[in-house]
Structure 1
Amino acid sequence: MEHTGVVHKIIVAGIGPGNPDYLVPAACKAIAGAKALVGGRRALAQYAASDGAGQHIMAVTRDIEAVMAFIQEELHERDVVVMVSGDPGYYSLLDAIKRKFPSECIRVIPGISAMQLAFARMNLPWHDARLVSFHGRQPERSALLYQKGAVMGMLTDAKFTSRTIPLILMECGWPGEAKLHICTRLSYDDEKVVTIRLREAENYPEAKNGILLVEG
C-alpha cells in the first residue's frame, strides 16, 4: 500500500477497561476532537458525537480489511482516531494497523489495560509476572510451565475460562493449592473479583472473557 506524502495521522487511543474514569486525558481529548472515529460498537455508542457533528465513524467488526480501507480513505482529508480497549500495545488493532501503515503516520496514546487493573485490585506488582493470552488462542506449553513463586496473568475467552484454564495449568505443574484470582467486569459497577485455590476452580461458577491471575 502506498503512503508517500501522508500528512494526517492515525491516532490509536487506548480507552481503558471500560469505565470512563479510567480513560486518560490525552485519549479523551483526541476522541472529543475526532473528525473520523473508529472503534467497537460499544465504544462508539459511548464516545462518538451524539449529534453526528459531521463526524465520520466506522465500527470495528471481523472485516478488518474494511476498517483499514476506511482509515486509508479518511487519511486523505483528516486524522483518524482509532479507539481500542485497554492499552494499544496489548493485543489490540494496533498490530493490524502497523502492518498496513508506516510508523511515521501512527501515534499511540497508551491506556490502562484490564490486566493492569487486575494486578492493582490484588495489590500485586507485575514487573516480574508472566502475561499470556487465552483469548482466541492457546499459549505454548513452555509459557505455562510452573516455577516456584511465579505470578501469571491471563486473558480468557468463552472457551478458555476460569474452569478450563486451571486444568491446563495443573497439567503444566502448577500446584492445586496455588492462589487463583478470578476478575470479571473490571472497572464496571458489577465488577467481581474472587480468590480461590486452583484445584477448586473446576467446581466454582465459570467466568468467561475476564482476567485470571495465578500465584505459585
Structure 2
Amino acid sequence: MAESRKNKVIIVGCGPGLKAYLSPKSMYHIKKAEILVGSRRLLKLFPRVDAEKVVLEKNYSILIQKIAEWSRSKQVVVLVSGDPCFFSYTKMIVRKMGRERCTIIPGISSIQLAFAAVGESWDDACFLSLHGRNNEYEQLVKKVRAYSKVAILTDHKNTPSVIARYLLKHGIQKRQMFICKNLSLPEEAIHATDLISAINMSTSGSAVVIIKNTNNETR
C-alpha cells in the first residue's frame, strides 16, 4: 500500500469508536500519522501510536487553520466519529484545505448501525440531525410526513421524548419510534415504541431515532 503524500490531510472515519469497526486502510494511515487530531474518546483508542496527539474540542476554526499549517511539513491524520461525510466537520476541513489536499477514509455511521440493529433497510429513508440544532423541527415535521422512514441524530436536549411530543402536537400519530442508544457498545439498548409511549421515556445523551410510518402513508 503506497504511503500518502505528506501534504495531504487524511480524514479517517472511526465509526462508533471501536477498533473492530476500523478498516485496515484506516489503521494504516493512523499508524503513519505524525500528528493525530481527534476527540479525547477517539484518541484514547490509539495509545501506542507514536504521534503528537491534539485534542479536538470546540476549537474547530482555530484548529483547522493549524492543521493546514502542520500539513505543509508533517503527516496529519484527523479522526472523526461515524462517517466523515455525514454531519461531520470534514466539510470545514475540505473547504479550508481544498479537495485535492484531503484524503477521506469512510467509516460506519451511527445511522447504518441503527438500521442494522432494528433490521430495517435505509435506502428509502430520509436523514436529519438535531444534534446541537434547535431550528430543524419544522423540517422534522415535513420529513416525517413525506417519508416512510426518518432517521434522526439527537442530543441531551433534543431527546426522543421531545421529538415525540413535537410530532404529536403537530398531528402526527401513527408512527413507530426506534430509539437506539450506545450502538455497538456492551450497553447497547434498542427500544421499539410508539410516539405516545415515547413521551414518558427517559433517555440521556445522544441516540439515533428512527421514525417509521406504520401505515406506509403520508399525511
TM-score w.r.t. structure 2 length?
A: 0.88
Distance in 2 between residues matched to 1:20 and 1:121, nearest whole Å = 19
Q: CA deviation at 1:155?
A: 0.3
Deviation string 1:106-162 (CA, Å, 9 cap, x unpaired) is 010000011110001111111110100110113251443243761010000111001
**Contact 1:158–1:209 (CA under 8 A) maintained in structure 2:** yes
Deviates more, 1:69-78 or 1:87-96: 69-78
The 1:48/1:166 distance shift into structure 2, 3 A limit, reads same
**Contact 2:13–2:79 (CA under 8 A) maintained in structure 1:** yes
Query: Are 1:183 and 2:194 matched, yes or no?
Result: no
Distance in 1 between residues matched to 2:191 and 2:139, nearest whole Å = 27
Deviates more, 1:181-190 or 1:91-100: 91-100
Secondary structure of 2:164's counterpart equals helix
**Contact 1:184–1:209 (CA under 8 A) maintained in structure 2:** yes
Distance in 2 between residues matched to 1:204 and 1:83, nearest whole Å = 33
Distance in 2 between residues matched to 1:159 and 1:174, nearest whole Å = 21
| Backbone CA RMSD of aligned residues | 1.8
The 1:137/1:93 distance shift into structure 2, 3 A limit, reads same
The 1:135/1:166 distance shift into structure 2, 3 A limit, reads same
Query: Are 1:198 and 2:195 matched, yes or no?
Result: yes
- Long gaps (5+) in structure 1: 1-5
Distance in 1 between residues matched to 2:205 and 2:162, nearest whole Å = 10
The 1:208/1:162 distance shift into structure 2, 3 A limit, reads farther
Distance in 1 between residues matched to 2:160 and 2:152, nearest whole Å = 10
The sequence identity of aligned pairs, in percent, is 31
The aligned counterpart of 1:33 is: 32
Equivalent of 2:110 in 107, 114, 120: 114
**Contact 1:37–1:48 (CA under 8 A) maintained in structure 2:** no
- Give the aligned length: 207
The 1:85/1:192 distance shift into structure 2, 3 A limit, reads same
The 1:56/1:208 distance shift into structure 2, 3 A limit, reads closer
Deviates more, 1:57-66 or 1:102-111: 57-66
Secondary structure of 1:163's counterpart equals helix
Q: CA deviation at 1:93?
A: 1.7
**Contact 2:126–2:147 (CA under 8 A) maintained in structure 1:** no
